[in-house]
Structure 1
């Protein structure tokens, strides 16, 4: 008689779309004993995408246990259950893609003599174990536990402990918040370190408040807010600090790049007055505008500022500027200077980096402006 397995799965997103993760587990259908657990972060994604990813991870784990098993899937996402059961249409492209992946696993199970015998919706309170795992995933923890292997692979007469991979935990979550717009931003005029230092205009103040509310919904646990010394960043950071109930800290190394004699000029004016120099600015590491900074000098101070921010631990929100954000992303992704200019960092956008205890880091998402729509 085929073995019976139960897959319980869940997924979540803090912001929807926002920081997402999934969780899944497999139980023995006969005695409800726990056989496997899965959890992983997904970066920025929607709730529905996270729910489907949890389902796929759970089906794969069950397939590893016994590809000929008859599986009951239990989830608190009515959307996923009804779509996979064929009772609801799948309209969204992301959902169709993920459903196709899940259906492919189901076909593989059928070919081996097993399959999914039941798609069951359950209330959230009955899905607490998978929900906890999905929160682990959203917190950046990777879980891959196979308790069933101890039963099938260890000799009964001489049990040996199985090595357990410790979860990869985030030491610091760094959220880079670009300042809201100023009249200079709207007019397409440069304003770097040492320039006129304008304040946020009315739209920029509104953007700062919207970003602050989004961060209030997103952030849990210990948090600190760091800002550059320039007025527009301090105003933007102050809004976030107020919502989060902390005092902002100023670190001038997060200031915008110094543009020297280009400050206050539009790109059209720069091209007319300094022909050929804008192209050099985008490609030459050591190019210096008169009175300004080279990219190498900027990278040095941003690197030091990033180290200080990461050392704080917890969630660190940094209210800063476009060029510092590009420098951080470039250093993590190994981009050339020319390619780094292709990255978007819009006013009041959020960019999240997850930094692990070993010093490695992942980019969870970039240029998130959902709160401005």
Structure 2
């Protein structure tokens, strides 16, 4: 019985955006390339393009020998896990594609393996050629393929980054006045920052093209080294940061950390979580979910996970700051009861809230350690972190190399989305802050 290796990939320049796939069938014994396939799909998501690449590869293998066994290798963790039966398929666009793929060969004759993107360059290059052909108003053909040449894949210009959040020129006094006006940690704001261009909410994940990852890496590196185009660092670990939905304390602008009561979501908060889940499901890029251990984040994460068909991991490092004796109080109440402690807290990141709460400096140390652990665990993947105001602001601050007082200069609404990508060379790129477009 013959054995084939099918390598497949798909990408979308925008997610959704102009999309294409590539697939390669080779002889498992000799490594000889037997068949190539690629196609421009028009506007589609990354995941649809990945599944279409899988279908093309399996169909090509079946045409070569319907009695063969097939080993599929893809850099899409989502497709590999779903087709292996370990992850549920809930997205309506994915179900028929997965069902079609499962019918091409009898059960048990196809196995799946996840491989790093750098080992899937042949299929990736074909996918990019298909997208390039589509941009020219053409369809890909084998006669124009450069898949056997040692040349880089076509690159995609990165999207324009969103504008800076808030007033970056405001002094500390103005920021603290804003805080005193009611924008306290965990209270959020009703003023969303502008949402980003399509495709920036979740960045390279399962199946997004290496060309897209190349462009993103260059854009991030250029921040530190203008004009320098580094070698391919691979896809970043991308954190999509979801603040939990509203609780009964949120509209009252009360301190709500990890040291007091642990409120559940309100009805409004549950609706916000559903709306966030719907957006993330449409984009189809989240590969894993990790939540703070607190009830409001676990409830938010559970709503999203049910929509995406994923499990929820819990990491204690993502919990909110402990606000000590200030838990449950408004900013005005804290100023009235503990004025000296509050002034110290506003002036220094090392100051603790009254009653032995957690300083922002201690929170930053905890968040940095959690970040490093998760970046290592999810290298090259896109993970949803469901957490709180201070952890999200701290991740953004650390990524920007901004001073501690910048925490007071960011707005972060309930159920908002922010995005930070982390590259292999240690650089980070803030791609989105406080997107609430899904709540409108």
Give the TM interval when normalised to the shorter protein.
0.5 to 0.7
* Structure 2 residue 284 is the aligned partner of structure 1 residue 219: yes
C-alpha spacing 1:138/1:241, structure 2 compared with 1 (3 Å):
farther
- The alignment status of 1:40 with 2:104, answered yes or no, reads no
For 2:345 and 2:216, locate their aligned partners in 1 and report how far apart those are by CA, in whole Å. Answer: 45
Corresponding residue SS for 2:350: coil
1:169 paired to 2:227: no
Structure 1 unpaired stretches of 5+ = 1-9, 46-134, 145-163
Per the alignment, residue 288 of structure 1 pairs with: 352
Structure with bigger strand share is 1
Q: C-alpha displacement at 1:167, in angstroms?
A: 3.3
Aligned twin of 1:326: 393
Give the distance between the partners of 1:143 and 1:366, measured in 2 at CA. 17
**Residue pair 1:230, 1:255 contacting (<8 A) in 2 also:** yes
Q: Give the whole-Å Cα distance in 2 for the aligned partners of 1:351 and 1:39.
A: 22
- Aligned pair 1:358/2:425, yes or no? yes
Q: How does 1:278-317 map to 2 (within 5 A)?
A: 278-289=342-353, 290-313=355-378, 314-317=381-384
Match of 1:208 in 2: 273
State the TM-score, normalized to the length of structure 2. 0.51
Counterpart Cα distance in 2 of 1:143 and 1:214:
22
Partner Cα distance (2:310, 2:284) in 1: 13
Partner of 2:6: none
Partner of 2:339, secondary structure, is coil
Match of 2:308 in 1: 244
Q: Distance in 2 between matches of 1:202 and 1:165?
A: 48
- Cα 1:324–1:244 change in 2 (3 A) is same
TM-superposed CA distance for 1:204, in Å, is: 0.2
Distance 1:182 1:367, change over 3 A: same
Quote the residue 1:155 is aligned against. Answer: none
User: What are the Cα deviations for residues 339-371 of structure 1, in whole angstroms up to 9, with x where unaligned?
Assistant: 221112211011111122223221111111111
**Is 1:265–2:329 an aligned residue pair?**
yes
- Kept in 2: contact 1:143–1:167 (CA 8 A): no
**Per-residue CA distance 1:287-311 (angstroms, 9 max, x = gap):** 0112201112111111121122212
1:1-373 mapped onto 2 (5 Å cutoff): 12-14=14-16, 37-42=154-159, 136=209, 139-142=212-215, 166-220=231-285, 223-289=287-353, 290-313=355-378, 314-373=381-440
CA-atom RMSD in angstroms: 3.4
CA shift at 1:237, angstroms?
0.9
The question of whether the paired residues in 2 share the 8 Å contact of 1:352 and 1:363 is answered with yes
Show CA shifts across 1:34-54 (max 9, x none): 999441322667xxxxxxxxx
Q: Are the equivalent residues in 2 in contact too, given 1:310–1:316 (CA < 8 A)? A: no
Structure-2 separation of matches of 1:12 and 1:311? 26
Distance 1:255 1:14, change over 3 A: farther
Find the structure with the greater CA-based Rg.
Answer: 1
Q: How far apart are the structure 2 equivalents of 1:295 and 1:210?
A: 31
Question: Unaligned regions of 5+ residues in structure 2, if any?
Answer: 1-11, 18-44, 47-127, 137-143, 163-207, 218-228
TM-score, reference length from structure 1:
0.59
Q: CA deviation at 1:165?
A: 6.5
Q: Tell me the CA shift for residue 269 of structure 1.
A: 0.5
Number of aligned residues: 249
